[in-house]
Amino acid sequence: MMGYGPNRQGLPASFSSNGQRIFLTGTSQSGNPITSRIGYMQMANGATSCADCHLQDGRGGSWRTAMGSFKVPNITYPVLTSKQEHEDGGRKHPPYTEATIKRAITQGVDPAGQPLQSPMPRWSMSNKDLTDLVEYLKNLR
Ligand code: HEC
């Protein structure tokens, strides 16, 4: 376990969709592994989830850990896709689209192609899981 952010108390007993499950647990109902990498650290299926850092409501926050403190941006859909400026470290970029959100998750770059800073992981998951996850992100407001 990475232990970033809050723990996973309050997870629902069952999930409303595969996308919700991936967001909250970092695992797919298909059983296909979802892995991620932060720098040189390779993380196994389920070792960390989006909600671990971005919180269950996707609104992020500021975390302080043994490894230092960091800010996690709000990734609710209206914030990602609106033109409003993001508060994260002055990266300026056009609004996200579905395609550039997927690219941010897997390749760790924003719509302008600028790298997302650690500890945002680079994720490996099937195209179906990635699509389900982005569909779920649309529910976060
Ligand atoms: C270990 C903590 C951590 C985890 C886990 C994590 N993120 Fe992030 N994420 C971050 C941080 C920190 C940033 C900001 C990076 C920056 O500003 O350069 C970020 C940035 C992003 C961005 C870009 C937002 C922007 O404003 O440009 C998206 C989209 C995103 N994360 C989605 C996800 C999704 C989806 C997952 C789960 C599959 C996830 N993240 C898991 C920490 C995390």
Instruction: Determine if ligand 1 sits within 6 Å of the CB of residue 54.
Output: yes
Q: What is the pLDDT of residue 88?
A: 59
Q: What is the pLDDT of residue 66?
A: 81
Specify the residue with its C-alpha closest to ligand 1, atom 42: 120
Q: And the tokens for 86?
A: 């993001």
Instruction: Determine if ligand 1 sits within 6 Å of the CB of residue 21.
Output: no
d(CA 53, CA 101): 17
Instruction: Determine if ligand 1 sits within 6 Å of the CB of residue 24.
Output: no
Q: What is the pLDDT of residue 3?
A: 44
Counting as low any pLDDT under 70, the low residues of the chain are 1-7, 84-89
Q: What is the pLDDT of residue 89?
A: 62
Rg (CA), the chain: 14
